[in-house]
Amino acid sequence: MIKAEITVPLLNANEPEARVAQVHARDGQAVARGEVLFTIETTKAAADMESPADGFFRLLATEGAALRVGDRLAVITDTADEPVSVPSAESVPAAASDLRITKPARALADSLGLDLASLPADRLITESVIRELAAAKAMSAAVAGMAFSEKHILIYGGGGHAKAVMDLLKALGEFEIAGIVDDGIPPGSTVMGIPVLGARDLLPGLVANGLRLAANGVGGIVDIGVRVRLFELLENQGFMLPALVHPRATVEPGARIGAGVQVFPNAYVGSESVLHPKCMVNTGAVVSHDCEIGAYSHIAPGALLAGHVHVGERALVGMGVKVVIGITLGDGARVGSGATVLANVPAGTIVPAGSVWRGSDNRMSVV
């Protein structure tokens, strides 16, 4: 007997889809009420999903799958071998009778010519929702008529990091910002005077109209995986990712900078250092001579890396971190803000903020 269902919740009102970032239990495993079973995420939010009841966990979704709000992730059953139906690969659209819409919103939709069958069934449809959908439709039509030059560049994201990227691009003066794509900001609005064109479904049309350059405006400070997936999305759509170095940053002539790298104001990159593609050296950070920063890694504001420091891929070096000469930080390592690193950090290790890291035997002290 099925005791409870676990479905995809609405994490962001503008994103009807979520990704299964991690599954924390095995199919058929006995679980207790309140036990974390899933971590799901959108481009703007992440959440842990807990078991609503004691019983046996029957998995219906795969790790990495993109599902719509309301899709089943799992069920909790009385027995470990309870037969359960597995959902189809694609979500089934809700029936028209499932639509929840206010009378004023229905009247507005009719006046604007919006098909009720196209409206989302995962929320109450109000007049504001109708206006947002109409604006998105109008913006899509406008984008279809746009033409772009080789200097135009798209920014993906409209949050804090995107604003820093916008200022970097304006300071360079080499590009013309075509607009912003963001899955959570209403089309037609602006960020720092730059128009929001719409969500990711616009990307193929933008490429078809000749837009070739893009910059990732998502910092991924909480989950660097979000930033990685957006880089992959942009590349898969056919965008090129130019290296962006702020004119107030200092990069020595012997340093090598890969595609998609971002170097922000007052940062320093020393002689013979290598910045692999899509990594970031943030405001005021120092990457001394002969350092190597792996792909996608983030050197946060004010970090200080002495010479010959090697940082692996997808790593995070927090604000104000100090790393002594010759140290290696493994792939996926995360060094908390204000920490001092005196020994190598193994892959995947988290160094607590404000601590002194003396080695993988976890001998640490707090500053």
pLDDT in tens, 212-224: 999 999 987 767 8
- Tell me how far apart the 2 most distant CA atoms of the chain are, in Å: 68
Residues pairing with 287 in the sheet: 269, 305
188-204 per-position pLDDT tens digit: 889 999 999 888 888 88
Burial class (CB in 10 A: 0-12, 13-18, 19+), 337: middle
Inform me whether the pLDDT recorded for 184 exceeds 50. Answer: yes
Residues pairing with 40 in the sheet: 20, 47
Q: Which of 96-110, 135-149, 290-304 has the highest mean pLDDT?
A: 290-304
14-45 per-position pLDDT tens digit: 566 778 888 999 888 999 988 999 988 875 66
292-331 per-position pLDDT tens digit: 999 999 999 999 999 999 999 999 999 999 999 999 999 9
Q: What H or E segment, with its residue span, contains residue 195?
A: strand 194-198
Inform me whether the pLDDT recorded for 82 exceeds 80. Answer: no
Inform me whether the pLDDT recorded for 86 exceeds 80. Answer: no
Domains and CATH numbers, the chain: 2-77 (2.40.50.100), 99-144 (no CATH), 152-236 (3.40.50.20), 243-367 (2.160.10.10)
Inform me whether the pLDDT recorded for 240 exceeds 60. Answer: yes
Q: Report the pLDDT value the prediction gives residue 81, as an integer from 0 to 100.
A: 80
Q: How many beta carbons lie within 10 A of that of residue 12, not counting itself?
A: 16
